[in-house]
Amino acid sequence: MTTTKKKLVLIGNGMAGVRAIEHLLKLSPEGYDITIFGSEPHPNYNRIMLSSVLVGGADLQEIVINDWEWYRENNITLHTGHKITKIDTDRKKVISHQGIEAAYDTLIIATGSNPFMLPLPGADKEGVIGFRDIKDCEIMMDTAKKYKKAVVIGGGLLGLEAARGLLHLGMEVHVVHIHNHLMDRQLDEAASRMLQRDLEAQGMQFLLNKHTAAIKGKRRATGLAFTDGTEVDGDLVVMAVGIRPNVELARAAGIEVNRGIVINDFMQTSVPDIYAVGECAEHRGISYGLVAPLYEQGAVMIKHLVGVETAGYAGSVTSTKLKVSGVNVFSAGRFADTPGTRALKIQDDLAGTYKKIVIQDGKLVGAVLFGDTADGAELFASIKSGESIAGREKEILLGISSDLLGQSSSGNSRLESMSDDEIICGCNGVSKGDIGDAVLNKGCNTVGAIKACTKASASCGGCKPLVEGLLHLYAGDAVGETVKEGICGCTTHSRDEIVAEITRMNLNSTKEVMNVLGWSNPEGCTKCRPALNYYLGMINPEEYVDEKESRITNERFHGNIQKDGTYSVVPRIYGGVTSPADLKRIAEVAEKYDVPMVKFTGGQRLDLLGVKKEDLPKMWADLDMPSGHAYGKTLRTVKTCVGSTFCRFGTQDAIGMGIKLEKAFEGLNAPAKVKLAVSGCPRNCAEATIKDFGVVAIDGGWELHVGGNGGVKVRETDLLCIVKTEDEVMEWSSAFLQLYRENAQWNERTAQWIERVGLEYVKKGLENPEDRLALKSRIDKTLSLTTDPWKQIVETDELRKNFEQLNSAQPVQL
């Protein structure tokens, strides 16, 4: 007998609602036909990580929690870009603004919240936004390309994350806060002042005790006017002053609403068969805006829904962690000094650390950490457990004891007492049960393996101590050995250690490096051999003999291997400028070798696709053109627009500058591929602001941009400086590329390198003219020793034979 599935509709495709659906699929995988409506055009993503997207630490794909395939695999009907306009409680159906109707037996409302927009004069102007979703991030990124001043209203958690992202985008940022210290809902004044000092050092500017009277400007915002008569300029105004539960849909349906949708301990609303969960809901007078309580609500709701016995939801103790680069802040529970509480504090202004714990009736009820937040997860666990810490207060203040970690002789008592539904990693919604499953059923016996399997500790890292504790709890003696991570599995040495030892001991071959530094695999691997070959050549370009056998396959064969085993050949076309004679030669060679396809590349060159490996030496000889190195860890292309040569908007000779750069750096070995571009005016037709080094012509000079990437992880460049002459362009580009060559890790693009070391590191390394000239001298020396390997290969029969010998050797695969 076939049982008819019940119909479940979820309004809201966000973190809280979809997390509840994940629980439902575990407890009752065949019990419901599930339909989800989401107002955004995206699958379920991690809203917590939006600030990381803004600062370039993650791209949009990386913050997706459940991709499109997940919905298909679980037979979930998903309607993205659909806003529900009506809940018909009598007919038990919902209707979207596009006319889609869905009947339900059970309805879950997870509509989240909206950013609170202050009802200020001018709040409807262009350039005034909240900071809530992907669209807001995109607006900020687009605005930063055209404008340079931003104002963030709100000095709380969200406002500071938005401000740091705007700083990263190159904007001048003022943060306006109504109170006299930042994050006043999470930090006491001492910790707040330390936070302000660190953020000011990063370039943030603060206007405290300020009440905004109006937003200036006509059609577009131009700044703020304050009630005290002062003003601040800003082309972008971001309001981050709080959130409001999104309850209008529920109110219109006759569901009881206060500040949020009123729910009981099982997330039931006032209307039968309708539940609410997440930021839109109000439980015992509280609407939670943090993810961990919302996950806890969802777990209780689903258990109740499918008939699994569970205690009702009784509310949550919350914690917060600021996700701002270079600043560590943690707060949990009640941090204020109130009657009946006692506080213990340690403040070290030299080290930049602060720690405060708040105690009431012998129990830990709150904590604030600044600078060193390693104890945050354990303190939070102690607050939630409600255990007595009488007699251990100073011990806890000075450092977490083994008992507090839950690893006492009594046997991991606290970790054992946690329920499987308790969230360990709030950023990624990983529960204790998820970690237990990874260890017990999936063979994860290290923290790294758990991270790869579940994403626990993969974001902010604050939960790592708890993950380690659970690993020991579940794995016992089977815990894997923690090994220092080197550049690959053959060694525990880091890039910096290897470069230092090569320099100190004057090592001259990859074999020598592996032997002296104690490689576990004496032959090395496909990760370390190309890296060592590059480091050796970078350190000693005059004496080191390039090891062709340590090159990746494409560099050995001087072509890009394709999925069918053929290769593509890309001749060098400087700056995208060619001639009829070169075009004719390329056409004749393509016909001679029966090339299946000739295609223009994104870098303004011609790609001959489908070439047989054995034809490569003869083809290059017939072309008699330099290789475009479309396969190498080297300069790929310098893309140009026509600039002032033809374009009526051009302010400088972009073609000439591009060709000059391409000829200067042709064949330069680098840690990863390098792409350049030159745009003849700020319209930026050559897309210079997504290249490793981009040059944009302006009236009377050139903007120099660095660290861009237009690939899978799109990253806009940072403005390095503005110069006046072409000679200065060459000087700065040479110095930048050599600084990158000498300091980046193997296979690390300039975008990732700058994100790791910081733009200020790059600026500091180049600000001194003597340092720039020294860097330029070193890169010029390297370039003077660089020859096009294809010129060698096609010149003599002997070198042609060498190429054939290379073909028969074992290549390093990509």
pLDDT classification of 413: cutoffs 50, 70, 90:
low
Query: Which residues partner with 368 through β-bridges?
Result: 331, 356
Which residue type does 739 have? L
- The pLDDT of residue 379 is 85
Separation CA 185–CA 336 (nearest Å): 9
Q: Is 134 exposed, middle or buried (0-12, 13-18, 19+ CB in 10 A)?
A: middle
Residue 641 in marked binding region: yes
Residue 772 has pLDDT above 90, yes or no: yes
Phi-psi region of 707 (alpha: psi -120 to 50; beta: other; left: phi over 0): left
- Please identify which residue in the block is written with the tokens 């219109």: 252
Quick one: what percent of the chain has pLDDT higher than 90? Answer: 50
* 571: Cα within 13 Å, side-chain hemisphere: 22
Mean pLDDT, residues 564-591 taken together:
85
Distance CA 665, CA 698 (A): 23
Distance in angstroms (rounded) separating the CA atoms of residues 161 and 159: 5
pLDDT at 520: 76
Neighbours of 8 (CB within 10 A): 24
pLDDT level of residue 795 (50, 70, 90 thresholds): very low
Residue 220: φ, ψ to 5°: -115, 145
Distance from C-alpha of 719 to C-alpha of 520, rounded to nearest angstrom: 43
Q: How many CB atoms lie within 10 A of CB 776?
A: 19
CATH number for the domain formed by residue range(s) 6-113+245-306:
3.50.50.60
pLDDT tens string 287-304: 998 888 898 899 999 999
Q: How many Å apart are CA 337 and CA 318, to the nearest integer?
A: 18
Does 668 have pLDDT greater than 50?
yes
pLDDT bucket at 317, cuts 50 / 70 / 90? confident
Residues 133 and 139: their CA atoms lie apart, in Å, by 10
Query: Which residue type occupies 581?
Result: A
The answer to whether 427 is a known ligand-binding residue is no
Give residue-wise pLDDT tens across range 61-103.
Answer: 678 888 888 999 999 999 999 999 999 999 999 999 999 999 9
Task: For 415-447, write each residue's pLDDT tens digit.
Answer: 776 777 777 877 777 888 889 888 988 888 888
pLDDT, greater one: 702 or 378: 702
| Terminal Cα-to-Cα distance of the chain (whole angstroms) | 55
In the predicted model, is pLDDT for residue 590 greater than 50?
yes
Say if residue 408's pLDDT is above 60: no
Of 402, 98, 358, 84, the C-alpha closest to 247 is 84
- Is 502 within 8 Å of 533 (Cβ atoms)? no
CATH second-level architecture of 128-241? 3-Layer(bba) Sandwich (3.50)
| Region 727-736 average pLDDT | 96
Rounded Cα gap, residues 160 and 153, in angstroms: 10
Domain ranges of the chain: 6-113+245-306, 128-241, 495-550, 632-787
Q: Is position 681 annotated in a ligand binding site?
A: yes
- Quote the tokens at residue 279: 């930021």
- Phi, psi dihedral angles at 613 (to 5 degrees): -60, -40
Give ∠ CA 380-385-386 in degrees, rounded to 5: 105
pLDDT range class, residue 376, cuts 50, 70, 90: confident
* Tens-place pLDDT, residues 123-153: 999 999 999 888 899 899 889 989 999 999 9
Residue 62 corresponds to which tokens in the numbers above? 């990386």
Query: Rounded CA gap, 527 and 549, in Å?
Result: 13
pLDDT at residue 797, rounded to an integer: 47
Tell me which of 568 and 562 has the higher pLDDT: 568
Q: How confident is the model at residue 678 (pLDDT cuts 50, 70, 90)?
A: very high
Average confidence (pLDDT) over 231-243:
95
Instruction: Please give the DSSP secondary-structure letter assigned to residue 270.
Output: S
Is 685 assigned to a binding site?
Answer: yes
Please give the pLDDT value at position 326: 66
Residue 71 — φ and ψ, nearest 5°? Answer: -65, -40
Beta bridge partner(s), residue 90: none
Q: What is the pLDDT of residues 697-728, one digit of tens each?
A: 999 999 999 999 986 578 999 999 999 999 99
Compute the distance between CA of residue 446 and CA of residue 480 in angstroms, rounded to an integer.
5
Query: What average pLDDT does range 476-505 have in this prediction?
Result: 81
Percent of the chain whose pLDDT exceeds 70:
89
pLDDT given for residue 790 in this prediction:
46
Lowest mean pLDDT among 390-399, 405-414, 731-740: 405-414
The yes-or-no verdict on residue 341 having pLDDT over 70 is yes
Higher pLDDT, 154 or 350: 154
Which range is least confidently modeled, 554-563, 728-737, 785-794? 785-794
The first and second tokens of residue 25, run together, are 């699929």
- What's the pLDDT at 473? 86
- Mean pLDDT for 224-231 is 96
pLDDT digit string, tens, across residues 39-67: 998 899 888 888 777 766 566 667 888 88
Q: What is the pLDDT of residue 378?
A: 77
Higher pLDDT, 677 or 492: 677
Let me know: does 704 contact 722? Beta carbons within 8 Å: yes
Model pLDDT, residue 759: 94
Q: Same fold for the domain at 6-113+245-306 and the one at 632-787?
A: no
Mean pLDDT check: name the lowest of 642-656, 703-717, 788-802: 788-802
Is 485's pLDDT higher than 70? no
Beta-bridge partner residues of 609: 568, 597
Residue 603 confidence class, pLDDT cut points 50, 70, 90 = confident
Residues 6+ apart with CB under 8 A from 219: 125, 126
In terms of C-beta density within 10 A (0-12 exposed, 13-18 middle, 19 or more buried), how is residue 423 classed? Answer: buried
- Measured distance CA(304)–CA(704) in Å, rounded: 60
pLDDT at 809: 43
- Provide CATH code, domain 632-787: 3.30.413.10
Q: Residue 6's CB: how many other CB atoms inside 10 A?
A: 15
